[in-house]
Amino acid sequence: MAIYWLDVVRYADSNGYHADKSRSISPYRDYVIGSFNNNLPYNQFILEQLAGDLLPEPTVQQKVASGFNMLLQTTDEGGAQAKEYLAKYSADRVRNTSTIFMGVTMGCCECHDHKYDPFTTRDFYQFAAFFADVKEVGVGNATPYPVATPQFQEQLAGLDKQLSEAMQQLETATVELAAAQKAWEAKIAAAATTEASLSAWHIIGPFAAASFEEAHTKQFPPETEIALEKKYGKIGWRKDDKLVDGTIHTLTGENSATYLYRTIQVETATSLPVSLGSDDSLKIWLNGKLVFENKVLRGVLADQDKLRLELTEGENRLLMKVANGGGGYGFYFQHKASTLPAELLAILKTPAGDRNEQQQSQLATYYRSIAPLLKPVRETVARLQQEKKQLNDQMPRSLMTVAVAPRPIRILPRGNWLDETGPVVDPAIPGFLGQLESAERASRLDLANWMISRENPLTARTFVNRLWKMFYGKGLAEPLDDLGNQGTRPSHPALLDYLAIRFMESGWDVKQIVRLMVLSATYRQSSVPTDKLVEQDPLNELFGRQARFRLDAELVRDNALAVSGLLNRTIGGPSVKPYQPAGYWAHMNFPKRSWQASAENQIYRRGLYTHWQRMFLHPSLLAFDAPSREECTVERARSNIPQQALVLLNDPTYVEAARALAVRMLTSSNAAAEDRIEWLFQAVLSRQPTDRELEVLQGVIERQLESYQQDPDAAKQLLAVGRFPVPEELDTVELAAWSSVTRVMLNLHETITRN
């Protein structure tokens, strides 16, 4: 069920267009699997996918379901036109949504009214307007959002509880804490009077010189007077708030000097340590007195020089000169400041009795962040916060629909996105099917509610017709994607009506309608036709016998893994990468990528979970007619070509599965060749072999034993394929020979055919 639905909605792990980059969407697949397993009513299934984000207080899973609207192909090609691709995305949603849920070909109306069905071009663009509120960009990748699965929610709740308890400990006042804070306040308050307040830098220059020597030694005007309002030719002082301390700043000029000036305010005389760097030389004056000079040619770095500025009470004037000889030019300045925020320093300067409640609270909060008594609690909080961050980072992410203000949708004459002469339209259902009752602009939620209403004659018929195809090999009406005038009339119209009505009246119960079909006498028929049936109904249009057809690509692989005992039956999770030929992705560019097989037993996951790269679909899936999922696929083609036999014989997955099956057989059956062959037939085909089959396979095992006895290295080479370990107690030659027999079994038409 899930495989079929993912075909229909064009689920893939890549964007499709241009570079076909990977996308995060696997939680949507888990939602689909869970919905079918838990028998979510089909009407709710539709509602959540079309408009899960618009439901009142949507759950995480409903938001994940809304990722349905984001499953289309997108591009991030640099030269793409955003407007063109928004038009493509809009048309894609109409084309595919109408086919997915209603089994009609509205896509034909993008350029003109439908030639056979009563859909118009206006219907097409009015339908497109339902999706105008989807947040997306024309060129670029959509944002995936974190998905808090029940497991993650449980873990997060546990961490939040521990964090809450730890934070409560931090905020609880104790006698010991109050005493420690009082002592800390007294100590810091005494030191606060020595804190320096530095103004922003003013800068002037560059003053040109004939040489570096002149640039360093010459007394330019700022050395004789500091007049911030004065200009020297075209050069004047300017305040620059971007010259923040602790950062290397670049200057301009060659064989020139630049001056920087600021004031430093202190309440009492103190010594202020500063750290300096310059390209090239440096001079510093404090209150008009030269206190530092370093004539040097160098590149600027932090902490090249150290200096203590002896400040006097009140305002101090600091002038710094940077001279450059050539090449780079810049400076670095940093002073040792208090670790306390300025606001707290101001509070500490206020006598304790004069502090208001807010100031007291600020001090207490800050002290708890540094108190030695609370260090173990703070470490616990930090650890829990780090664990929570790591857990959030580990969460799966998925594309979701996010609603924004709808963009205008206009009818595009002949589908031309450059032609804006067509009228702007509002959301509406196809005119011949009625109209929505909505006082405001109709939304995707209105569309979803109409889609599952009794007034819509198509939704239930489309779904039960496709279910019939899954269980009987073909639909009651064909093709499955066109219930309109271009399709065939139903072979059993009354039955199709009955099933659709029964489905709706059951509360859209999927399992009930499936049970009804598979318990019917029609389903339980043999697929072996009688001569009379072949003559009267060669195409089985009357369903006088059960259908016989090859398994879908994923199930061919799953079947081989299941009978071999390798199948990993874990449900849900991200896509996996089984074995794939080296170099298969060699021509996938922007950027170049390589296929890395998944770790451990993840390579044995069901084919449902295989990474779906639209442009380079896994070759084993491709060989058995899996679609690229660029468009809605309601029915896969079924070919019968030699390449499929080669895949079954040579793909590492099937070679390894054959070996694992041989191990099962050798450890589960008697030693006689006939008994082992009978065991294989029961395990793989659920029947006894015929005499002729026994004879053929006995001949195969005899020849293979002889061959590998003569060439034991070939036996070791065969058994080295894949990760499944070779049991040490089994004979290498015997295991290789029987692996050849099991390869034959997995390559039988009967093995991959649903009878």
- Determine the Cα–Cα distance for residues 313 and 271; give it in Å rounded to an integer: 11
**Structure token digits, residue 478:** 């064909």
One domain for residues 433 and 469: yes
**Residue 542 belongs to a domain:** no
Evaluate whether 561 touches 601 at the Cβ level (below 8 Å): no
**Residue 124 belongs to a domain:** yes
Per-residue confidence (pLDDT) for residue 286, from 0 to 100: 96
- Determine the Cα–Cα distance for residues 126 and 311; give it in Å rounded to an integer: 76
**Residue 546 belongs to a domain:** no
Total domains present in the chain: 4
Whole-model pTM: value is 0.78
Per-residue confidence (pLDDT) for residue 328, from 0 to 100: 84
One domain for residues 186 and 203: no
One domain for residues 127 and 166: no
Question: What does each C-alpha distance from 571 to 6, 64, 66, 306, 562 come to in angstroms?
Answer: 16, 17, 21, 64, 15
Secondary structure (H, E, C), 172-229: CCCHHHHHHHHHHHHHHHHHHCCCCEECCCEEEEEEECCCHHHHHHCCCHHHCCCCCC
One domain for residues 688 and 734: yes
* 722, HSE (Cβ side, Cα atoms, 13 Å): 23
**Residue 246 CB-density burial (10 A; 0-12 exposed, 13-18 middle, 19+ buried):** exposed
**Residue 224 belongs to a domain:** yes
**Residue 543 belongs to a domain:** no
Express each pLDDT in 239-257 by its tens digit: 999 999 999 999 998 899 9
One domain for residues 724 and 598: yes
DSSP annotation of 481 reads T
One domain for residues 324 and 204: yes
One domain for residues 487 and 389: no
Per-residue confidence (pLDDT) for residue 173, from 0 to 100: 87
Sequence-ordered list of residues with C-beta below 8 angstroms from that of 693, at least 6 positions apart, any chain: 677, 681
- pLDDT under 70: residue ranges of the chain: 190-194, 337-342
Per-residue confidence (pLDDT) for residue 598, from 0 to 100: 95
CATH of residue 308? 2.60.120.380
Pairing of β 256-266 and β 289-294: unpaired
Per-residue confidence (pLDDT) for residue 191, from 0 to 100: 66
Which structural domain range is residue 712 located in?
Answer: 553-623+640-755
One domain for residues 421 and 464: yes
Last residue of a domain, one of 337, 366, 381: 337
**Residue 241 belongs to a domain:** yes
E-strand ranges in 210-280 read: 231-232, 235-236, 238-239, 249-250, 256-266, 270-279
One domain for residues 324 and 208: yes
Last residue of a domain, one of 536, 562, 583: 536
One domain for residues 255 and 310: yes
Helices 732-746 and 553-564: angle between axes, nearest 10 degrees = 150
**Residue 284 belongs to a domain:** yes
**Residue 591 belongs to a domain:** yes
One domain for residues 354 and 420: no
- Determine the Cα–Cα distance for residues 569 and 604; give it in Å rounded to an integer: 8
Per-residue confidence (pLDDT) for residue 724, from 0 to 100: 94
E-strand ranges in 336-410 read: 397-399, 409-410
One domain for residues 602 and 693: yes
